[in-house]
Chain A
Amino acid sequence: MTSLDAAPRTDRPEASATPLLTIEGLRIGFPSLEGLVLAANDAHLTVGEGEVLGLVGESGSGKSVTCRAIVGMVPHPGAVLGGRIDFAGRNVLEFSKAEMRELRARQIAMIFQDPASALNPVFTIGHQISEVLRLNAGLSRAEARNRSIELLERVGIPAPDRRMSAYPHEMSGGMRQRVMIAMALAGEPRLLLADEPTTALDVTIQDQVLRLLEDLRRERNMSMILVSHDMGVIGTAADRVAVMYAGRIVEVAPTDVLFSRPDHPYTRALIDAMPQLTPEDRSDLRTIPGQPPDLLKLPEGCPFAPRCPLARDECAEVSMELTAVSPAQSSACPFARDGS
């Protein structure tokens, strides 16, 4: 930890000066019968110390696989084809298996959408959390048990000592996600990768879990990448947001800027397509014409061009470099500003 400042932060941090995680030019490919599918295509990201980066995109945009690449868990037969992922100054793509295990044990933890499939159904949750603590932190059986109870208590599980002997199926979805969070915290990670952590939960439970994650982030100065397809979740929980489309990051901005002054036409379209709780007028929602792109048949240049209201001929030749719109905001569309 660079700073152990215990004072609680009152406001959300600006983009941190020394990022904990930097992803540059990441390319992830999946071979298929019809050719190579690029799930991530020249993706760039940074995550600051103690920052929550929201990664938003529709299905197939590459957000989950980008997240998994950070911990060396790109599913077979996919592979990282290029780029670098620097975590605390070292490129994790060059890590040996042992180093990667160490990284996952102590530095970077991950939670998933469906905790039921991430927990082992035949062991009690107490057993599973204690196992993590004994293997990763070298605690004795008794120490691990006490620490597990503390962790379960911290994540808001009622009667944690009794819950230690419960099996995953005896718990609700929200409780299982809390258990997953407790397991993730066991290694005192500096970075938490949360892949759609609340998608399977009801809205009141989602609210509870998001609040818990926010409290934990503040109390531990933990960084987080929050992957979600839900602009609402991203908008309430992230400090900064990266928008992904067809394997590329098309816009990065602080959350309030992204929602008040989106630059990229795709970001605007996503925001416009969100149904509002109490809409001003209940006329039609603005939609994005067409379908999400076929990753096998991506157009030259900007992948959003075929659906974009501002598209012009140059879009086929435009390079998809993220360029700064303001110090904190960058966008991959060079034409958005003359259009507005």
Chain B
Amino acid sequence: MSAHAPTGARDGVPILVVAALEKWFAVARSPIDVIRRRPRERVHAVDGVSLQLLPNEVLGIVGESGSGKSTLARCLVALYRPDQGTINFDGVDVTEATGQVRRDLHGRMQMIYQDPFTSLNPQMSIGAAIEEAGKVHGREGDDFVGDLLEVVGLPRSFARRRPRALSGGQRQRAAIARALAVQPEVLIADEAVSALDVSIQAQILNLFAQLSDDLGLAMIFIAHDLAVVSHVADRVAIMYLGRIVEEGPVESVFRTPRHPYTRALLDAHPDPYALGAAEETAAISGDIPSPLDIPSGCRFRTRCPYATDVCETDDPALAPDDRPHRVACHVLPFGPPAEG
């Protein structure tokens, strides 16, 4: 499948550059609010995110619900139009793209969702769905359907089946095959293994790792499960209330987290081999604040055990450090990051 070799495989030059991205949604007003001329409230789902993706790289994005990770993904593939900031894909401005440029972009970036049952047409056979996707993006003739099914680990005979005749794991494989049919350069997987049982989840995670190794695909892998991200990603970004609070190589971020939120996420992750360790750490208290009412200063300070006065007044920026491991925190209670 040489066609999958990334066209822009210049090492070190990012294929995707997101700068100061913001996306907000207006909240519906009740008739009373309208009569009283209350201003329309806005939810800042993504509130100033900058990131880069290198060709060949797998970037994990972790966050709890409401952190804006899915909104970010939808902005990247131009399903949402961002309100501020830019997304640059291999020299093309995604936010301004229209017509043929936009269609081309869709061929180069593909998204995979949590529930393949809702993203595959139930009336269409798996083969037809894959073929259609390929044809729309100018692929024809060759038997790419069967080849793709093999790439994702399904028998060629599955081309004739309907989605409902497949199990959850097989459906996710079929959805991946359809995404690959357009020969994308970037795959964006949004909670793509969250709905699967452990044994099947492991198979699909291995498939993603294999796709990144064999086809040289760049990938953005969004998940709430830290261990899942740890397995496929090279680099990870931790999101909280629409912001990236820490970012760096997976090893470094997970072994020596610097942001109190990252630390809390890691501590809360249920690990049966850390028996007893969980008793010693304090659970972080409270719920994630409403994105309608984002705290002043550092948005994590309401739940942070280390918060000081500065955290209330000053919004910490993700240090524009040239080091690969970056963090947005005034206090930095846990010492320097690991080398590398």
By a beta-carbon cutoff of 8 Å, the part of chain A in contact with chain B is: 58-59, 172, 174-175, 202-208, 210-211, 229-237, 255-256, 259, 269-270, 273-279, 282, 284-288, 291-292
Given A278-B255, A284-B209, residue A204 in contact with residue B64 (CB < 8 A) = yes
Chain B residues with CB under 8 A of A285: 202, 205-206, 231
Q: Is the CB of B271 within 8 A of A275?
A: no
Q: Is the CB of A203 within 8 A of B64?
A: yes
Interface check B319, CB cutoff 8 A: no
Q: How many A-B residue pairs have CB under 8 A?
A: 128
By a beta-carbon cutoff of 8 Å, the part of chain B in contact with chain A is: 64-65, 167, 169-170, 197-203, 205-206, 209, 224-228, 230-231, 251, 254-255, 264-275, 278, 283-285, 287-288
Q: Summarize B's interface: helix, strand, loop or mixed.
A: helix
Q: Is the CB of A277 within 8 A of B227?
A: yes
Q: How distant is B226 from chain A, measured CB to nearest CB, in Å?
A: 6
Q: Is the CB of B169 within 8 A of A291?
A: yes
Beyond A206-B268, A207-B270, A276-B227: 8 further Cβ-contacts under 8 Å? Answer: A203-B270, A204-B264, A279-B231, A284-B206, A285-B202, A287-B206, A291-B167, A291-B169
Nearest neighbor of B210 in chain A, beta-carbon distance? A284
Q: Is the CB of A236 within 8 A of B272?
A: yes
Chain A residues with CB under 8 A of B64: 202-205
Q: Is the CB of B272 within 8 A of A259?
A: yes
Q: Given the complex of chains A and B, what is the CA–CA distance between A217 and B19 in angstroms?
A: 49
Q: Given the complex of chains A and B, what is the CA–CA distance between A261 and B226 in angstroms?
A: 25
Q: Given the complex of chains A and B, what is the CA–CA distance between A154 and B270 in angstroms?
A: 24
Q: How distant is A56 from chain B, measured CB to nearest CB, in Å?
A: 9
Nearest neighbor of B267 in chain A, beta-carbon distance? A207
Q: Is the CB of B272 within 8 A of A275?
A: no
Q: Is the CB of B273 within 8 A of A259?
A: yes
Q: Is the CB of A174 within 8 A of B287?
A: yes
Chain B residues with CB under 8 A of A274: 198, 202, 227
Q: Is the CB of B202 within 8 A of A205?
A: no
Q: How distant is A322 from chain B, measured CB to nearest CB, in Å?
A: 21
Q: Given the complex of chains A and B, what is the CA–CA distance between A202 and B205 in angstroms?
A: 21
Question: What 3 pairs across the A-B complex have the smallest Cβ distances?
Answer: A235-B272, A232-B270, A207-B268
Q: Is the CB of A232 within 8 A of B287?
A: no
Of A172, A203, A211, A235, which is within 8 A of B287 by CB? A172
Of A203, A237, A270, which is within 8 A of B199 by CB? A270
Q: Given the complex of chains A and B, what is the CA–CA distance between A285 and B204 in angstroms?
A: 10
Q: Is the CB of A256 within 8 A of B226?
A: no
Chain A residues with CB under 8 A of B270: 203, 206-207, 210, 230, 232-233, 235-237
Q: Given the complex of chains A and B, what is the CA–CA distance between A137 and B263 in angstroms?
A: 44
Chain B residues with CB under 8 A of A286: 202
Chain A residues with CB under 8 A of B274: 236
Nearest neighbor of B282 in chain A, beta-carbon distance? A211
Q: Given the complex of chains A and B, what is the CA–CA distance between A237 and B270 in angstroms?
A: 9
Chain A residues with CB under 8 A of B287: 172, 174-175, 205
Chain B residues with CB under 8 A of A279: 230-231
Of A206, A256, A287, which is within 8 A of B202 by CB? A287
